[in-house]
Structure 1
């Protein structure tokens, strides 16, 4: 729905139509949500925002959640609904990892629901500079009118883990191994 709204606004701008205050307000909310600092509301800023306001394939979400949460069995998943290993950096913001190294201050973020965890994960992928590659791959696939598939987008998660390429290989192996169970979602 957010993409559709942005495309509607792009059409208005392309036709030299003015935007209502409510349309400007909704756009500013989207710029804030996706952490995109726009100087102006114009075609360039809206096209840049569209790179952030996009889907993440379900199979990629499921595989990454399985990987990060030990198939939902981790302490962080069970106690804090954190299925994606997201960290926070304020004392008391989450669960302190038992294997946290000395001198480290991060905690594993706590969520009140699965929905909150998934929303945070999606916002993270669609706004954090660490995942610019993911968004570029996705935008390239869109520009070629190709399907957004997990096996291509996973490469954009190289900065999600300190293990980098080994992490990507592990996710791709999990995707291939579990493909038969992901029949109703994109693979």
Structure 2
């Protein structure tokens, strides 16, 4: 699909693996938790309205924003997926918050930019003659929110959205993220390893 790209450089001071992971968690986990709380509250509020058989202009606006044609599709879009997945993807895509994209643009998830009018930075490497651009964010929370919103809106993740209504098991859900990366099914396997090894699923409890 080509939305995402990971790039490393070595401008940070040397750190042990433990120091790198501690720094990553102190930067990323609070942002993920804050965004998750807000998104879950929105999901629950909208679900209450829909379950009561009511609708309003705000619901209809959300359907447009999230490209949802039904109430069920809107709820699929709005329900946030487990924090462990977001944290593991952030670790993988940013090399534990050491990538140039993160340090220069808060782009923790390697999200590409196709809009020349939005804030963005160029990758150091090109694909042939093509410059690759990634989005630039004002904060880590903005990057996390945009990541959740991307997974909530993109047609590529329709099966992922449907599956998260059936289970909160991160190890099942990551198998539906093969289109996030050019690695395909291997991407889910790597996320599973990161979540298990670092016990990131503890953040889902």
Q: TM-score, normalised by structure 2?
A: 0.73
Name the CA distance, whole Å, in 2 between partners of 1:107 and 1:183: 32
Instruction: Give how far 1:140 is off.
Output: 2.4
Aligned Cα root-mean-square deviation (Å) = 1.9
- Structure 1's consecutive aligned runs of 4 or more residues displaced over 6 angstroms after TM superposition are none
Range with greater deviation from structure 2 (26-35 or 52-61): 26-35
Give the structure 2 partner of residue 6 of structure 1: 46
Name the CA distance, whole Å, in 2 between partners of 1:35 and 1:69: 28
Give the structure 2 partner of residue 169 of structure 1: 189
Are residue 90 (structure 1) and residue 115 (structure 2) matched?
yes
Bigger radius of gyration: 1
Where do residues 77-156 of structure 1 align in structure 2 (5 Å cutoff)? 77-91=102-116, 93-141=119-167, 148-156=168-176
- Give yes or no for contact 2:157–2:176 (8 Å, CA) kept in 1: yes
Range with greater deviation from structure 2 (3-12 or 118-127): 3-12
Are residue 27 (structure 1) and residue 59 (structure 2) matched?
yes
What residue ranges of structure 1 are gaps of 5+ in the alignment? 14-18, 39-44, 142-147
Name the CA distance, whole Å, in 2 between partners of 1:168 and 1:103: 30
Distance 1:169 1:183, change over 3 A: closer
Name the CA distance, whole Å, in 2 between partners of 1:28 and 1:123: 17
* Number of aligned residue pairs: 164
